[in-house]
A and B are shown apart, each in its own frame.
Chain A
Amino acid sequence: MKEKDSEILSIDSLAIGYRSGNRQNILLPPITASAGRSELVAVLGRNGIGKSTLLRTIIGLQTSLGGKIMINGESLAEIPRLELARKIGYISTEIIRVSNMTVYNLISLGRFPHTNWIGSIDPESRDAIDTAILKAGMGSFADRYISELSDGERQRAMIARVLAQDTDIMVMDEPLAFLDLPGKYEIADLLYNLSRAGKTIIFSTHDINIAIKLADRVWLVQKEQLVEGAPEELVENGSFDSMFESPAFLTGPFSGSSVRDYLKNFL
C-alpha cells in the first residue's frame, strides 16, 4: 500500500444496497476503503455478501444510500455519466452475446465516451483501439466474431474494450470466473501487468491465492465490516480466518491444517 496522497479512489462511510419505495435495504455496515494509483486491489468475500453491489456503486450504476465516493478528489455523485465513463471502466460477469459482432466492434464500443454524436472512429480512437488490442494480447483475433471466442479470449476482449475506454480506473466483477486454470493465471498476469503500467484495477475474486500473490491491497468484505490492508498484513493478523469459518473445515478431509499456514504459502 502506498501513502495517502497517491489515492485515486476513496470511499468514506459508504452505504450500499437497494431502495424500494421509502424502504432501504442496506447490505453492509458503512464501508471505508481506498485504492492508490496504479494499484491492483482484490475484493474478497463470500458469495452474496455484496461485492457486486459495492462494485456497481463505485462505477455509478447504482446509487449509494449514504456516504461518499471520491475519484481523484471529485465526488462521484457530481460527475456526469459521460465524464465518469472517461475515468472508470467496468466489466461485469454478464456475458455479451451478440451475433455478427466482431471483437473489433466490441472493443471500439469502449470509445463511446470519446467519439462524436454518430460514434465515428477518428484516428485518435483508432490508435487507442489498436493499442488496447495489443496490450490485451488480442492481435490475432481482432477480426473474429465474439460468438466464436473461448471464455479466456472473451475476457481478454472485454479487457481490451475497457482499455480502449482509456480510464485510470478499471473495475471488474470476477474476471477470473469461468476460466480454466491456465486461463485464470493468464488473465491475472495481464491484470498485474496493466496495473504496473499505470491502471488502478479493482477486481473481485474467489481465488484467494491469486489475490494474495498479486494484489497490492485487499478489501475483505465481511458481514461486520470491510477490512482493508496489504495481503501480507491480513494474513498475519488473521483477518482471512473468517473466510474459512465453515463446517467443511472442522471435520473431514479439509480439516486440520491452519488457515494461516495455508495462506502463507502464497506470500
Chain B
Amino acid sequence: MKTTEPIKPSGFTGRNNTLIFAIMGLLLAVVFILDLFLGSVSIRAIDVAKAIFGDSGSDFETIVMKFRLPKAVTALFVGIALSLSGLQMQTFFRNPLAGPYVLGVSSGASMGVAIVILGFSSSLTVVNLQGLGNWLLVMSAWVGAGMVMLLIMFISSRVRDIMTILILGIMLASGISAIVSIMQYFSSETMLKAYVIWTMGSLGNLSSGQLNVLVICVSAGILLSISSIKMLNALLIGENYAGSIGLNIRLSRTVIFAGTSILAGSVTAFCGPVGFIGIAVPHIVRNIFRTSDHTILVPGSILTGGIVMIASDIVSQLPGSESVLPINSVTSLIGIPVVIWVILRNRRNSVSF
C-alpha cells in the first residue's frame, strides 16, 4: 500500500487548545471571585468589594478576608491536588477507575492522621495543632497514603484486571476504617472528638498555618507532576514499551509514587477525605481536549480541578440559605455520575482509559 496523501498538520488534535485553556483560566477566575461573593451570610457585592480592596474593618471584611478567601484558596489547592494525583494514578496503573479515594489512598492518609491524633501525645489535638504539629500531621498522612500506594503498586504488578484492583482498593479502605474504629474505641474522649471533627472533612477549618503548609505541599506536588509529564506519556503504552523507548521505570515509579502520596496525603491531612474529584476530573479533561498527551492533561487537570472544587464549595454553601452541606457529599454527587459513565463506556469498548 503506497500512500501519497499529504500529511496533515503535525500534532493536529481537532481542538483549539489555546482557546480552551483561555476559557478555563477565565472560568477559574470567575468561580474564585464568585466564591468570595456567595456564602451562607449574604453580603452585598459592594461590601465584598470594599472588604477586598478597602480597609473598612467591618464584620464583612472579617468574613471575606478571614473565612471566604482562605476557604477559596483551600478549595483551589485541594482541587488541583486531587485531580493531579488522580490523573497520575490513572496513567500509572493504566486504570480508568483509579483515584486517591477509590483505591484507598485517602483512607491510608486518614489512618496516618488517626495514629497521630488518637495515638500520640495528649497535648496534640486538632485545636492546638500548630507549627510543627501541622507538619507532623501532614507527614503522617503522606506515610499512610504512601503505604497504600505501595500496596496497590505491588498488587497491580501482579493483577492486571481493572475491576479486581478496584475491589481490592475498596477492601483496603474498609480494612483501614476498621482499624481506625478500633483505635477510636481505645482512645480518650477529647482525642476522639478531635478526630471525629476532622473526619467530617471541611475546606473551612484550616488555620493560616495549616493553609501555608497545604499550599507549600501542593506546590511541591504540582512541580513533581510537571516533571513527570514525559514519563507519564511513556507509561501510557505500558511499562514494557516504555522501557523499550528508554524510560527509567524505577525512577518514574518513585517520582509518581512521591507525587501522588504528597498530593493526596496533604489534602487528606487538613481537609479530611474528599471523594471522587481525583477520579472524575481527569476524565472530564480528557474528553474536553480529546487527547492523551500529558503536556495538555496536566495543566488541564490543574485548571479543571480548581474550577470543579471551587464550584463544589459554592454549591455546598447553598447560597442564600443559612446551612452548609458537607463538601464530601457535593463532590460525590458530581463525581459519581462521571465514574458510572466511565464504567458503562468501558463495558462497551475495551479501551483502558
Contacts and interface: CB of A to CB of B under 8 A. Distances in A.
Given A90-B241, A92-B240, A100 B3 contact: no
Interface stretch (A29-37, A101-109, A249-257): A101-109
Contacts of A98: 236-237, 292, 351-353
A134 B352 contact: no
Nearest to B231: A119
Contacts, number: 122
Contact of B244 (A90, A137, A138): A90
B7 interface: yes
B246 A84 contact: yes
A101 B353 CA distance: 10
Contact of A126 (B10, B230, B247, B293): B10
A115 to B, nearest CB: 7
B241 A105 contact: no
Interface in B180-238: 226-227, 229-230, 233-234, 236-238
Interface of B: 1-8, 10-14, 226-227, 229-230, 233-234, 236-238, 240-241, 243-248, 286-287, 289-293, 295, 349-353
Given A96-B238, A112-B247, 4 more contacts: A98-B237, A98-B352, A108-B11, A118-B230
Contacts of A126: 10
A109 B237 contact: yes
25 contacts: A85-B246, A89-B245, A94-B241, A98-B352, A99-B292, A99-B353, A100-B287, A100-B291, A100-B292, A102-B13, A104-B12, A105-B292, A106-B237, A109-B234, A109-B237, A109-B241, A109-B245, A118-B226, A118-B229, A118-B230, A133-B7, A134-B7, A137-B1, A140-B3, A143-B8
Interface in A152-211: 165, 186
Contacts of A81: 243, 246-248
A142 interface: yes
Nearest to A123: B10
A94 B240 contact: yes
A96 B241 contact: yes
The B interface is mostly helix, strand or loop, or mixed, namely loop
Interface of A: 59-61, 81-86, 89-90, 92, 94, 96-102, 104-106, 108-110, 112-113, 115, 117-121, 126, 129-130, 133-134, 137-140, 142-143, 147, 165, 186
Nearest to B353: A99
Given A99-B292, A133-B7, A137-B1, A92 B241 contact: yes
A165 B246 CA distance: 10
Contacts of B229: 118-119
Nearest to A129: B10
Given A137-B1, A140-B5, A147-B351, A101 B236 contact: yes
A139 B352 CA distance: 26
A143 to B, nearest CB: 5
A139 B8 CA distance: 8
B293 A165 contact: no
The 3 closest A-B pairs by CB, nearest first: A85-B246, A119-B230, A90-B244
A112 B245 contact: yes
A101 B243 CA distance: 19
Of A89, A100, A108, the most chain B CB neighbours within 10 A belong to: A100
A53 to B, nearest CB: 13
A136 B7 CA distance: 12
B124 to A, nearest CB: 41
Contacts of B240: 61, 90, 92, 94
A63 to B, nearest CB: 12
Contacts of B226: 118
A178 to B, nearest CB: 15
B11 A165 contact: no
A133 B244 CA distance: 20
A81 B234 CA distance: 14
A92 B240 CA distance: 8
Nearest to B230: A119
B3 A134 contact: yes
B245 A100 contact: no
